[in-house]
Structure 1
Amino acid sequence: MRKLGLLFICFIQFSCTSDAQEKINGVSFVASRDKATQAQVDEVLNIHANSAAVMPFGFMREIASPEIIFDTDRQWFGETSEGAKQYIALLQKNGITVMLKPQIWVWRGEFTGTIMMETEENWKKLENSYDKFILNYAALAEETSVPILCIGTELEKFVESRPDYWLGLIKKVRAIYKGKLTYAANWDEYKRTPFWKELDYIGIDAYFPLSDAKTPTVKGLQQGWQPWKEKISEVSLANDKQVLFTEFGYRSMDYTAKKPWMVDNNEDNVNLVAQANAKEAIFNEFWSEDWFAGGYVWKWFIKHDTSGGALDNRFTPQNKPAQEVIGNHYKAFKN
């Protein structure tokens, strides 16, 4: 009997350990002009990813504009509902789950976190427009059995200024969509996001500054994570929710971990080692934590053969050493 008891305890411990290792190993599957093909999805499978963020877009003319324009014939195929549906179907056919993550693009690339209306009338117009945008994709997520829907990305001022609207929006979405919900808060926003308890994951776009070094080491980067990691885990505990990195990534350039959010068109020196080290450090720090659900690499272009490479200093890890780092870790934590 005692041996059976010990075996039962060991079984429970093994089961818990196995569950803890199951992670969302995702890529941010960038919208394209074209339909996705099987060959392009094969490249996602080759790095052992089990999930992909599909990202249709709505557009705003300026920061203070109350109208969100979406599903027009001027958009790229992958930015529309039709394109998102095709991407989802092909990914699901290959056993890859999807987070549907509709996003806003402001003309000239202005930061969405600063969207602010100048009058109450325009706030109401924006809320009505955002309802149409998100509820359209909530319906698509339900229709296609997508397991996760992200209801917004880096919209700090909108959230801060209109908290009651967001609580109401969550209720409207849940009336349509039965899957899990998250919101993609920017790295310096997530602690102030007021509605985590109403969602299923604490979503963070994880561009935390970690190091001032030109080529930071894995050890140095892991040290840089410690104060941030402690704060992230505290928010997870306080809300009793797992954390999901709705985006995480680093450019392949010098000083990549100093300001990881930078998306300018600089031509700073390519540094493939720095990018690979930063990826290694984030996996080492987070993927073994029970309170951490996983994340989505920023970013993965569907035309793999012509993306990234040794001369590219942008975010994509494709055809760079960072791709191998991702593949090795995703394989180790494969469901």
Structure 2
Amino acid sequence: MKFSRLYLVIFFLLNNFLLVFAQDKSTTKINGMTMVASKTTITDANAKDLRDIGSNYIAVMPYAFMPRAEKAQLYFDTKRQWTGETLTGIESDVKTLQAVGLKVMIKPHIWIGSGAFTGSIAMTSEIDWIQFEENYKAYILTFASIAEKNKVSLFCLGTELNSFVSERPEFWCKLIEEVKSIYSGKLTYAENWDKYEDVIFWDSLDYIGIDAYFPISENKTPSVEKVNFAWHGLKATLKSFSKDYNSKILFTEYGYRSIDFAGKEPWDSSRKEVSGNETAQLNLLKGLHESIWDEDWFAGGFLWKWFPNYNSDSYRHKNRFTIQGKISESYFKSF
């Protein structure tokens, strides 16, 4: 009887230790996934799929639209948008994700009708700049309010807006203060891999957000070893930058397409036909994880991207960024 009780005590303590260890491991880093907005709100099953892939954070993306990069108009929460991009849809998806134990980052994006890059947004007059700033502030504060209402863990102030950020620094400093006045969670901003050093307000945020599409390799199928070597130099630069601002770096986006030469220009999302290569995608992801994931200056990252209603019979995304239905999906589950 004494042995039996002792055994039960040991079993109980060991079980709790393992549980705590597992929880610590899963929460040490932001192991995030970027969820593509869908035509309808997501289901409980969609949320569980994201949890079961191994994610602990999900990025949801409310889109706003501009007719042209030099025009002040900015539209959001319209009837023409998919439900998953609207106020109602974002709030519903946040609640569904949180209900299965996932944390959320709300990450606003702008889509320009001409297909122009958001980093090139620039008005042609002071009047237009002021109008655009008012429109952008309304957009951001609206979703910051949703983030606060739903106790969202992380809010992103914008995505890849280099010219806007560089030309209008006073606006951004004021915007950060206004967001902080209504939102009590963590804050970041997502800047492109080649422009993050231009941002002046990192010390006002909780994380340095980088969309990490750094060129890694010009090989058709780079080995994990070569990917590790490529990250060696980048890692030193990022560590130094993190130290300068006394703030951890968060990869607000990272990922690779399942194509030949996927590490050469990882930012390329063009629809041109390219030969599929799942091994290249896998090796690039493994190399990134092995190189920097355990660094103390690194907060984690959000993999780009996941479709809640993915159709495994469709070839639409076979050579795109998603890991769904590919060998990288099994790897991510065990990562």
Is TM-score (shorter-chain normalized) higher than 0.5?
yes
121-130 or 296-305, larger mean C-alpha shift: 296-305
Aligned length: 314
Can you list the C-alpha shifts for 1:55-90, whole angstroms capped at 9, x where unaligned? 010000011011110011010001111110011000
Report deviation, 1:227. Answer: 1.8
- Normalising by structure 1, we get a TM-score of 0.90
In the alignment, structure 1 residue 54 sits paired with structure 2 residue 60 = yes
Task: Structure 2 unaligned segments of length 5 or more: list them.
Answer: 1-19
Q: Counterparts of 1:88 and 1:168 in 2: how far apart (Å)?
A: 27
What are the residue-to-residue correspondences of 1:152-167 with 2, within 5 Å? 152-167=158-173
- Quote the RMSD (CA, aligned, Å): 1.8
Q: Counterparts of 2:314 and 2:295 in 1: how far apart (Å)?
A: 30
Q: Counterparts of 1:249 and 1:308 in 2: how far apart (Å)?
A: 21
In the alignment, structure 1 residue 285 sits paired with structure 2 residue 284 = no
In the alignment, structure 1 residue 261 sits paired with structure 2 residue 267 = yes
Identity of aligned residues (%): 42
Please state whether the residue corresponding to 2:139 is helix, strand or coil: helix
Contact 1:25 1:295 in 2 (8 A): yes
Can you list the C-alpha shifts for 1:14-65, whole angstroms capped at 9, x where unaligned? 99xx679711111001101111012211211221111100101000001101
Residue number in structure 1 paired with 2:137: 131
Can you list the C-alpha shifts for 1:225-270, whole angstroms capped at 9, x where unaligned? 1222111111110001111100001000000000000010111100
In the alignment, structure 1 residue 146 sits paired with structure 2 residue 152 = yes
Rate the CA distance shift 1:311–1:134 in 2: closer, same or farther, 3 A: closer
What are the residue-to-residue correspondences of 1:38-49 with 2, within 5 Å? 38-49=44-55
Can you list the C-alpha shifts for 1:255-309, whole angstroms capped at 9, x where unaligned? 0000000010111100000001111011111211111111111000111344877
Residue number in structure 2 paired with 1:316: 322
Rate the CA distance shift 1:21–1:287 in 2: closer, same or farther, 3 A: farther
Q: Counterparts of 1:180 and 1:147 in 2: how far apart (Å)?
A: 6
Structure 2 counterpart of 1:33, one-letter code? K
Residue number in structure 1 paired with 2:215: 209
Contact 2:26 2:56 in 1 (8 A): no
In the alignment, structure 1 residue 294 sits paired with structure 2 residue 300 = yes
Q: Counterparts of 1:134 and 1:98 in 2: how far apart (Å)?
A: 16
Q: Counterparts of 1:292 and 1:107 in 2: how far apart (Å)?
A: 35
Residue number in structure 1 paired with 2:3: none
Task: Structure 1 unaligned segments of length 5 or more: list them.
Answer: 1-13, 330-335
Residue number in structure 2 paired with 1:24: 30
What are the residue-to-residue correspondences of 1:165-176 with 2, within 5 Å? 165-176=171-182
4+ long deviations beyond 2 Å: 18-21, 304-311
Can you list the C-alpha shifts for 1:141-186, whole angstroms capped at 9, x where unaligned? 0000001000010000000000111000000000010111000010
Contact 1:243 1:294 in 2 (8 A): yes
Structure 2 counterpart of 1:37, one-letter code? T
Residue number in structure 2 paired with 1:10: none
Residue number in structure 2 paired with 1:89: 95
Can you list the C-alpha shifts for 1:187-242, whole angstroms capped at 9, x where unaligned? 00111111000000000000000100000111111111122211111111000111
- Normalising by structure 2, we get a TM-score of 0.90
Residue number in structure 2 paired with 1:71: 77
Q: Counterparts of 2:271 and 2:82 in 1: how far apart (Å)?
A: 22
103-112 or 247-256, larger mean C-alpha shift: 103-112
Contact 2:153 2:186 in 1 (8 A): yes
Please state whether the residue corresponding to 2:172 is helix, strand or coil: helix
Q: Counterparts of 1:63 and 1:310 in 2: how far apart (Å)?
A: 29
Rate the CA distance shift 1:254–1:21 in 2: closer, same or farther, 3 A: same
In the alignment, structure 1 residue 199 sits paired with structure 2 residue 205 = yes
Higher RCO (CA 8 Å, separation ≥ 6 residues): 1
Structure 1 counterpart of 2:256, one-letter code? Y
